[in-house]
Every structure is written in structure tokens, then in C-alpha cells.
């Protein structure tokens, strides 16, 4: 298995718009290093630049200044076409395709690279997210949580080393969200991926992360950098413990200070 990816944002700047409404400075000289194999959560107010960082890491956008470096075993890789999976805020399954056909879409877009076995990879990805028996279902036959699992499977099907998730569970009910948090952390460790996860939920950040980066309002600057005090294997009872409450409090305080 290929090693996980480290990510470095070096003096990255990104601005939007220059019309009558004025220029929106989202990132301005931001430095951030993400360790290979880590589960890093980006926490901050709306519009501070968290999603922009994910798009830059995926090669879906480019910085106006600075650079983004992806490195595998000391070798630099381009974000464009790199070993990356991206999960958006909504599942975005194509309604006219079965779940299995939706999960297979990355292979089609890549022209089914030689040596791949798309059908086997699709089945394995669906099994990993607990949907092995649902490949023939259409999206309208799936619950919201199942659709998001399908989106996870589609992002996993090409065995990414870097997994980028932009508030993927924000629209789900609380119980489904908690279950998917557990599932995602299990998958990340099992597959040894580097994960960058954006959320507005302090509790979700505290539970999922190996490391939490707290940002100020835009232009984003790092106002808190927290290593998780918890063991790699997380249990549901952790959410109700005193150490967890203290960690949530520390993240909350950093958010408040950063917005001052």
C-alpha cells in the first residue's frame, strides 16, 4: 500500500472578487503543515477559508501567492490527479444511476486505468461503508445517511492517500452523524489515510481529531493548534466524559479568542 500524504501550505494567499462589492481576502500568507497519516480537523467560523484550503489541497483551486505541496515518501506530488479523495457537504449521487454505478464514476472519469478491476473495487468500497447489499439501489431508495455513505465509498474507491471532507455530515440527524463519525475514524486508521476534515461542530472536532486547527475569521490565521489528548481508538462513552468536556472547552475558548 502506498504511504499517506503530507500536506504543506506555504504562505498561501487566496482572494475572491474585485468588483463593486470589494475584494474578499480569505487566505493571506497562511502557513500550515499536515503530517502524513494524521486525522486533522479544521475548525473555525463560516467563511474563514477552511473549504478553500481543501480545494487548494485537492488541486480544484490554485493560490494566488505561495504554494501547496503534497509529499509521499519524500517525493512531491501534484494536487491535480494526485492520490486524493474529496467528500462534499452533500452526497451528490446522480439520480439516474444505481449506487454501484455512482461509486464507479471515478474510474469512468479516469478512463478506467489499466490494471484496475473496477467492479471489485466498487464492491470493496461499498462493503467498507456497510452498503455491500445496496449496490443495485437507486439514490431515491436510500436514506440520507446511506447516501452519504455512498459518497464516502465513491471517494474511497480509488484508494486515496489523502482524504478531504468538507462538512460531510452537517445535514444529517444527530444519531446518524455520530455513527458516521465513528465509521469515518475507523476507516481512516484502517486505510492509513491522511485526513483533512472541515466542521463547525466543536464536539465533532474533539471526537474525531488527532489534531485540531482553530482558525480566526477571514483572512484565516491559526489561533489554536491542539493535539488530541485521547487514545487512537475512540468509544462512544468518551463523549460524556470529563476530559472530553475539558477539551471541548479549550477548543471553544480558542474560537472565542480568535474572533475577538
How confident is the model at residue 111, as a pLDDT? 66
* Strands 39-43, 211-215: pairing kind: parallel
Q: What is the pLDDT of residues 188-238, one digit of tens each?
A: 988 889 999 999 999 999 999 999 999 999 888 999 999 999 999 999 999
Mean of the per-residue pLDDT values of the chain: 88
Which pLDDT tens digit goes with each residue over 106-152? Answer: 888 766 554 457 888 899 999 989 899 999 999 999 999 999 999 99
Residue 241 CB partners (closer than 8 Å, separation 6+)? none
Q: Where are the domains of the chain?
A: 6-83+160-258, 94-159
Distance of CA 36 to the CA centre of its chain: 14
Categorize the per-residue pLDDT at 2 as very low, low, confident or very high, splitting at 50, 70 and 90: low
Mean pLDDT confidence for 164-191: 89
Residue 104 banded pLDDT, cuts 50, 70, 90: very high
Contact 7, 195 (CB under 8 A): no
- Alpha helices, DSSP H, located in 118-241: 118-128, 144-156, 174-191, 202-208
Q: For domain 6-83+160-258, say whether CATH 3.40.50.2300 is its number.
A: no
Amino acid at each position: 500500500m502506498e504511504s499517506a500524504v503530507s500536506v504543506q501550505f506555504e504562505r498561501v494567499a487566496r482572494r475572491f472578487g474585485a468588483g463593486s462589492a470589494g475584494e474578499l481576502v480569505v487566505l493571506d500568507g497562511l502557513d500550515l503543515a499536515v503530517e502524513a497519516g494524521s486525522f486533522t480537523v479544521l475548525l473555525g467560523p463560516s467563511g474563514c477559508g477552511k473549504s478553500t484550503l481543501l480545494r487548494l489541497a485537492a488541486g480544484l483551486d490554485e493560490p494566488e501567492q505561495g504554494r501547496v505541496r503534497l509529499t509521499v515518501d519524500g517525493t512531491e506530488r501534484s494536487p491535480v490527479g494526485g492520490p486524493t479523495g474529496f467528500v462534499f457537504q452533500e452526497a451528490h449521487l446522480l439520480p439516474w444511476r444505481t449506487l454501484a454505478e455512482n461509486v464507479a464514476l471515478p474510474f469512468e472519469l479516469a478512463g478506467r486505468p489499466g490494471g484496475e478491476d473496477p467492479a471489485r473495487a466498487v464492491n470493496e468500497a461499498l462493503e467498507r461503508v456497510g452498503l455491500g447489499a445496496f449496490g443495485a439501489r437507486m439514490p431515491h431508495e436510500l436514506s440520507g445517511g446511506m447516501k452519504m455513505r455512498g459518497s464516502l465509498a465513491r471517494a474511497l474507491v480509488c484508494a486515496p492517500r489523502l482524504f478531504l471532507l468538507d462538512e460531510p455530515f452537517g445535514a444529517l440527524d444527530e444519531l446518524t452523524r455520530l455513527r458516521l463519525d465513528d465509521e469515518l475514524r475507523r476507516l481512516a486508521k484502517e486505510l492509513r489515510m491522511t485526513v483533512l476534515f472541515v466542521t463547525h461542530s466543536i464536539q465533532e472536532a474533539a471526537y474525531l481529531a488527532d489534531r485540531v486547527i482553530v482558525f480566526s475569521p477571514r483572512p484565516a490565521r491559526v489561533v489554536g493548534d491542539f493535539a488530541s489528548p485521547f487514545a487512537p481508538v475512540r468509544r462512544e462513552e468518551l463523549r460524556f466524559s470529563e476530559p472530553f468536556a475539558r477539551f471541548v472547552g479549550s477548543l471553544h475558548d480558542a474560537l472565542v479568542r480568535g474572533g475577538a
